[in-house]
């Protein structure tokens, strides 16, 4: 439910009109859309599109309606009185156009100022949601692919959180298990015969450590044997090996946490190793249901519409990525009792999740037909590419380290800030904080503003441009509005209590209406799990503010100053909330 959505509110009015007009079709769902401007002109704010399809259903049954247009007129006549609506008309084949009352828009904006943005939050029909995101692998550095998962996953979690589910879990399914650990541990013991003496800085560069051990593994048969024996020891729970494993994991964790801290990401870790003990009982249950077959010594599950089977147990008896996900999904459904599990990874893993969910459906552990609200959803995103259109790599053709990338974004922002005329008015701390907010914000926004399913080109110059559709531009717009209010010398809290929002100028009205449309855009963005829809809204908001409202309506010193300052404040409230949802830190002075 979503009382703040203009579309929903109009929908309720039209539902009454539709039933009154066509009593034989009581369950018609109102089709309401915001009108789109043609050549810069909009004839109305919203339209109801039911007449055309409804006419086809009642043709010949209700004599008074000769065509869709006359049905549209009938619907319009039956529309209940409402303070929302200024006027209605029927257009074209039977669209019912609605112009909203500007007084009502103004009152709604005023209400936002008194009640806050939470009063605009929709409610989710779902109780317990989990977003599985970021989920990097130990010993392999976090790379740009994980950056996308981290940024997109965090935003989705923030969006869902705004809908106030009973429980929201931000899950980091860290890859902390697997055969690579045999190699790493064997190498660690070889380099540091006394593991107690090892400290973090010795193997601080885990990627280099990983590479060196891999090199030895591939070239030295004796070492390879020791590595394989180490896996067995580790899996058998030998304390010495477990300790070394933990040591290696902790070093990785420290690195991951640095990135999370910089980006303001909250995550709860439940790593792959947590699910190890749950794998055998999960497989046993599947076995009892007759789902598991033998294939060349491996234990496999066949699922609908896929030629290759899902490998639950490898030929050597070992477990894999699938085994862990079978156990973890079982846990999520039965122990954590989650009713929406969202997995955020690159699209390349779609088949993994497709097969996983299908296996669960085959077992009867997930409903056969997933409806509008699926219990499991895989959110795939495209590759991160460089300017050459190929997978993003640094010059040495290695994957790019995330910390380097964030450092670079910050560095460039700092340079730009220091070049500004007012640079000397800034304290060192302000420069640091602001260049972080802009730099990290720019990296996030560049990723979020495109449809996540497409590939994404990483380009510093583009994302840090202060004129295009970038976080830099948006943060500037926000800071500029803050400075308008500051310059007025007025106390906004006081104005909120005593002032009134009036929308007499066309551009004031346009801004007010766009503010009010936040909720329905948010609902669209959230229900399709597409943050780019929200980015587009935010960008349009800044454009409407800057190019329409602020260029035609003087604020400070005008007779309408109070109302216009309130409109500025309302714009800030909505902008800041968008920034919050996108994980971007606002900047108050620029
Ligand atoms: N660690 C995996 C990777 O880096 C992502 C894990 C996603 N979550 C899951 N439950 N499979 O590709």
CA distance readout (Å), 22 to 28, 71, 80, 142, 225: 9, 9, 15, 59, 79
Mean pLDDT of 113-134: 94
Distance 214 CA to ligand 1 centre (A): 22
Place of tokens 């009581």: 26
Cα distance between residue 223 and residue 206, in whole Å? 19
Which residue's CA is minimally distant from atom 8 of ligand 1?
173
The contacts of residue 194 (CB under 8 Å, 6+ apart) are none
Using CB atoms within 10 Å of the CB of residue 522, give its burial: 0 to 12 exposed, 13 to 18 middle, 19+ buried: buried
pLDDT of residue 372: 62
Distance 370 CA to ligand 1 centre (A): 23
Cα distance between residue 152 and residue 133, in whole Å? 8
Mean pLDDT of 76-100: 97
CA distance readout (Å), 525 to 36, 126, 193, 532: 18, 16, 55, 7
pLDDT greater than 90 at residue 386 = no
Cα distance between residue 51 and residue 32, in whole Å? 11
Q: How confident is the model at residue 396 (pLDDT cuts 50, 70, 90)?
A: low
CATH 3.30.1360.70 in the chain, residues?
Answer: 6-100
The finding on whether 323 has its CB within 6 A of some atom of ligand 1 is no
Mean pLDDT of 420-447: 94
The finding on whether 175 has its CB within 6 A of some atom of ligand 1 is yes
pLDDT of residue 141: 65
Distance 256 CA to ligand 1 centre (A): 15
- Ranges of H-type helices in 335-374: 350-362
Cα distance between residue 502 and residue 107, in whole Å? 8
**Which phi-psi region, left, alpha or beta, contains residue 16 (left: φ > 0; alpha: ψ -120 to 50)?**
alpha
pLDDT of residue 235: 85
SS3 221: helix
Least confident of 37-41, 75-79, 503-507: 37-41
Distance 236 CA to ligand 1 centre (A): 24
pLDDT of residue 170: 98
SS3 3: coil
Mean pLDDT of 3-13: 93
Q: Across the strands, what pairs with 311?
A: 300
Which residue's CA is minimally distant from atom 4 of ligand 1?
136
Q: Across the strands, what pairs with 300?
A: 293, 311
pLDDT in tens, 527-540: 999 999 999 999 99
Bigger pLDDT: 370 or 18?
18
The contacts of residue 336 (CB under 8 Å, 6+ apart) are 128, 130, 169
Q: Across the strands, what pairs with 88?
A: 98
Q: Across the strands, what pairs with 394?
A: none
DSSP letters, 493-538, are HHHHHH------SHHHHHHHHHHHTHHHHHHHHHHTT-HHHHHHHH
pLDDT greater than 90 at residue 387 = no
The finding on whether 173 has its CB within 6 A of some atom of ligand 1 is yes
Least confident of 232-246, 439-453, 471-485: 232-246
Bigger pLDDT: 590 or 133?
133
Backbone angles phi and psi of 391, in degrees to 5? -45, 135
Mean pLDDT of the chain: 93
pLDDT in tens, 562-583: 999 999 999 999 999 999 999 9
pLDDT of residue 572: 98
Atom of ligand 1 nearest to the CA of 329: 10
pLDDT greater than 80 at residue 484 = yes
Distance 343 CA to ligand 1 centre (A): 8
Distance 335 CA to ligand 1 centre (A): 20
Q: How confident is the model at residue 145 (pLDDT cuts 50, 70, 90)?
A: confident
With contact defined as beta carbons under 8 Å apart, do 538 and 21 qualify?
Answer: no
Mean pLDDT of 505-532: 96
pLDDT of residue 371: 66
User: Angle at CA 215, nearest 5°, toward 207 and 384?
Assistant: 45
The finding on whether 343 has its CB within 6 A of some atom of ligand 1 is yes
Q: Mind spelling out the 3-state secondary structure of 436-489?
A: HHHHHHHHHHHHHCCCCCCCEECCHHHHCCCCCCCHHHHHHHHHHHHHHHHHHC
Domain 6-100 bears CATH identifier 3.30.1360.70: yes
- Ranges of H-type helices in 368-457: 402-418, 428-448
pLDDT greater than 70 at residue 398 = no
Cα distance between residue 583 and residue 436, in whole Å? 13
pLDDT in tens, 190-218: 988 876 766 666 666 777 888 889 999 99
pLDDT of residue 232: 87
Cα distance between residue 139 and residue 123, in whole Å? 40
DSSP letters, 37-80, are -BTTB-S-SEEE-HHHHHHHHHTTTSTT--SHHHHHHHHHHTPP
Distance 175 CA to ligand 1 centre (A): 7
Domain 402-581 bears CATH identifier 1.10.730.10: yes
Bigger pLDDT: 174 or 399?
174
pLDDT greater than 90 at residue 4 = no
Q: Across the strands, what pairs with 377?
A: 342
Q: How confident is the model at residue 476 (pLDDT cuts 50, 70, 90)?
A: very high
Q: How many helices (H) and strands (E) does the chain have?
A: 22, 14
Distance 152 CA to ligand 1 centre (A): 14
Bigger pLDDT: 382 or 2?
382
Bigger pLDDT: 523 or 211?
523
User: Angle at CA 337, nearest 5°, toward 331 and 343?
Assistant: 65
Question: What is the ipTM, given to two decimal places?
Answer: 0.99
Distance 166 CA to ligand 1 centre (A): 25
pLDDT greater than 90 at residue 60 = no
Mean pLDDT of 54-83: 94
With contact defined as beta carbons under 8 Å apart, do 105 and 124 qualify?
Answer: no
The finding on whether 345 has its CB within 6 A of some atom of ligand 1 is yes
pLDDT of residue 200: 65
pLDDT of residue 402: 83
pLDDT greater than 70 at residue 399 = no
Which residue's CA is minimally distant from atom 11 of ligand 1?
325
CATH 1.10.730.10 in the chain, residues?
Answer: 402-581
The finding on whether 322 has its CB within 6 A of some atom of ligand 1 is no
pLDDT of residue 251: 86
pLDDT of residue 195: 66
Percent of the chain's residues with pLDDT above 90: 79
Q: How confident is the model at residue 72 (pLDDT cuts 50, 70, 90)?
A: very high
User: Could you tell which of 140, 146, 156, 173 is best to mutate to test the pocket of ligand 1, judged by most ligand atoms within 8 Å of the CB?
Assistant: 173
Q: How confident is the model at residue 394 (pLDDT cuts 50, 70, 90)?
A: low
């Amino acid at each position: 439910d979503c009382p703040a959505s203009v579309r929903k509110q109009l929908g309720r009015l039209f539902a009454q009109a539709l039933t009154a007009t066509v009593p034989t079709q009581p369950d018609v769902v109102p089709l309401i859309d915001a009108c789109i401007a043609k050549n810069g002109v909009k004839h109305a704010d919203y339209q109801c599109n039911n007449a055309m399809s409804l006419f086809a259903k009642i043709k010949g049954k209700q004599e008074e309606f000769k065509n869709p247009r006359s049905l549209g007129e009938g619907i319009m006549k039956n529309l209940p009185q409402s303070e929302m609506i200024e006027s209605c008309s029927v257009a074209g084949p039977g669209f019912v156009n609605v112009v909203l009352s500007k007084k009502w828009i103004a009152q709604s904006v005023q209400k936002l100022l008194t009640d806050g943005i939470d009063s605009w939050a929709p409610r989710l029909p779902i109780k317990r949601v989990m977003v599985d995101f970021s989920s990097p692998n130990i010993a392999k550095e976090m790379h740009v692919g994980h950056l996308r998962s981290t940024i997109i996953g965090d935003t989705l979690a923030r969006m869902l959180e705004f809908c106030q589910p009973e429980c929201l879990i931000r899950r980091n399914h860290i890859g902390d298990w697997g055969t690579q650990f045999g190699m790493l541990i064997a190498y660690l013991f070889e380099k540091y015969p006394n593991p107690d003496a090892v400290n973090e800085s010795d193997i601080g560069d885990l990627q280099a450590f990983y590479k060196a051990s891999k090199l030895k593994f591939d070239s030295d048969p004796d070492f390879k044997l020791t590595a394989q024996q180490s896996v067995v020891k580790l899996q058998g729970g030998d304390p010495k090996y477990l300790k070394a494993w933990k040591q290696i994991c902790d070093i990785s964790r420290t690195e991951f946490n640095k990135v999370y801290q910089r980006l303001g990401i909250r995550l709860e870790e439940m790593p792959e190793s947590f699910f190890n003990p749950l794998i055998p009982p999960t497989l046993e249950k599947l076995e009892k249901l007759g789902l598991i077959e033998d294939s060349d010594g491996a234990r496999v599950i066949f699922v609908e519409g896929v030629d290759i089977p899902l490998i639950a147990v490898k030929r050597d008896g070992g477990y894999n990525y699938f085994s862990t996900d079978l156990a973890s999904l079982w846990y999520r459904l039965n122990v954590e009792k989650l009713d929406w599990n969202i997995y955020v990874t690159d699209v390349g893993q779609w088949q993994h999740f497709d097969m996983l969910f299908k296996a669960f459906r085959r077992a009867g552990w997930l409903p056969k037909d997933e409806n509008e609200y699926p219990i499991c959803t895989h959110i795939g995103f495209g590759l991160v590419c460089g300017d050459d259109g190929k997978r993003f790599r640094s010059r040495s053709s290695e994957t790019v380290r995330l910390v380097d990338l964030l450092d670079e974004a910050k560095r460039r922002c700092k340079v730009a800030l220091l070049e500004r005329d007012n640079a000397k008015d800034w304290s060192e701390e302000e420069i640091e904080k602001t260049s972080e907010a802009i730099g990290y914000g720019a990296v996030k926004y560049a990723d979020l503003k495109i449809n996540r399913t497409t590939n994404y080109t990483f380009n510093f110059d583009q994302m840090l441009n202060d004129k295009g559709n970038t976080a830099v531009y948006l943060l500037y717009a926000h800071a500029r509005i803050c400075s308008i209010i500051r310059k007025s010398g007025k106390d906004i809290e006081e104005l909120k209590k005593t002032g009134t929002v009036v929308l007499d100028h066309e551009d004031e009205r346009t801004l007010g209406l766009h503010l009010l449309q936040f909720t329905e855009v948010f609902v669209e963005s959230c229900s399709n799990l597409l943050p780019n829809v929200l980015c587009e809204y935010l960008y349009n908001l800044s454009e409407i503010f800057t190019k329409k409202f602020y260029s035609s309506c003087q604020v400070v010193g005008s007779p309408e100053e109070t109302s216009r300052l309130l409109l500025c404040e309302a714009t800030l409230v909505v902008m800041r909330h968008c920034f919050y949802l996108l994980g971007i830190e606002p900047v108050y002075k620029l």
